[in-house]
Amino acid sequence: MEFTVYRTKDIELIEGCKKKNGQAQKELYTQFSGKLYALCCRYIREKMEAEDVLIMAFTKILDRIGQYKGEGSFEGWMKKIVVNESLTYLRRNKNMYLETDISAADREPDFDKLESHLQAEDLLKMIESLPAGYRVVFNMYAIDGYSHKEIAEQLGITENTSKSQLSRARTALQKNLAGLEKDLIQKSI
């Protein structure tokens, strides 16, 4: 079992939320809503829809906070709820099409040239532009650390489909990076 050491203030905040204290709930939202909203946005393209999912996730967090036993990361526990709520939203709205053809990347991009120009924001935009199925599997595997087995269970797909979607997402990202590299070379000429 993993135990996480919290500051007294964090423990008081969690305990206040367990007691349905409105001020503690507001403080929890203020402290974590930015990070959790960014997490929603990685799964859901439309900002207003991501906000709706965040509100639904926070409702579940506050309703289920009594289930958190202080083992492991509280933020990680909340993130899992947000990811699950995002996936539920995508399934409910049928925005997640797991099969989309994409042509293979023409060549490997020169990551050394790109490194000096590529910002984290640019990479997030590239991930956001992926088809929904690719984006969800890429986020779950590469960013949130889920295994292919866990992804398959969460999305109701096979492990091979998860692996295939990840491979296609990587190929699409490589193609986008190669295009960015080409643009940078043309601008420098």
Q: What is the pLDDT of residues 5-55, one digit of tens each?
A: 456 778 889 999 999 999 999 999 999 999 999 999 999 988 999 999 999
Angle between helices 120-128 and 159-188 (to 10 degrees): 130
Closest to 98 in 3D by CA, of 138, 133, 128 = 133
Gap between the Cα atoms of 95 and 90, Å rounded: 5
Closest to 150 in 3D by CA, of 108, 141, 142, 114 = 141
**Polymer length of the chain:** 189
Confidence (pLDDT) at 29: 95
51: its two tokens: 């906000």
Task: Judge whether 133 and 169 are in contact, CB under 8 Å.
Answer: no
Task: Judge whether 100 and 137 are in contact, CB under 8 Å.
Answer: no
| CATH class assigned to 111-188 | mainly alpha
Confidence (pLDDT) at 186: 62
For domain 8-92, the CATH architecture is Orthogonal Bundle (1.10)
Residues 6+ apart with CB under 8 A from 7: none
Confidence (pLDDT) at 9: 78
Helix, coil or strand: residue 79 = helix
- Domain 8-92 and domain 111-188, same fold? Reply is no
Question: Which residues of the chain are under the pLDDT cut of 50?
Answer: 1-3, 5, 98-117
